[in-house]
Amino acid sequence: MTHRSAHPTRRRLLAAAGAALCVPGAARARDTEPPVGWVQPRAAPPAWPLALAGGGRASLQQLVQGRLTAVQLMFTGCTTSCSLQGLHFAQAAARARRVPVQWLSISIDALGDDAARLQAWQQRFGPHPSWRAAVPAPRDVDALAGFLRGVDSSGTHTEQVFVFDRAGRLAWRSGDQPGDELLERLFEALA
């Protein structure tokens, strides 16, 4: 004789829970949460062209190649967290450290930001040679943000920091507003 341990009501509840996991909307809700921590495998970015603060152009690949680089997403018209993020990167760039780090702020407002606006935004916080700002072409904003965040990120704003190793590969994603001590330990581990 076989024994069925699940009561009929329990079986229905289990079946409903299993079906809910298969609903496309439920899966997308989980998939929109950005992964945090080490990126495996590490990934080199596509060659998205960026307009640099103050003028000039370079691809994201060119900017991160050969440099330990911390990246943040921002936009100059932001009235919430971007000013704090800018101040954090300006202060971090000016701080002496054992491991040299490049700081890169990338605007997600390709229609509102340009080289001049980015340069003025940096001036508010105190520019530093190791802190750069750039903006991609409008067609590349969502793909670039999605690559960094590891999720579909259309229309999203984040306070994460993304770290590239010296080989120009995305190596780590933070949660929102990572502390200085955590970033320093990470830089030393990647050096």
| Structural domains of the chain ordered from first start | 36-190 (3.40.30.10)
Q: What is the SS3 assignment for 146?
A: helix
> Which spans in 23-81 are helix H?
24-31, 60-64
pTM: 0.80
When pLDDT is cut at 50, 70 and 90, the band that residue 191 belongs to is: confident
- Between CA 101 and CA 96 the distance in angstroms is 10
Give the pLDDT band (50/70/90) at residue 34. Answer: low
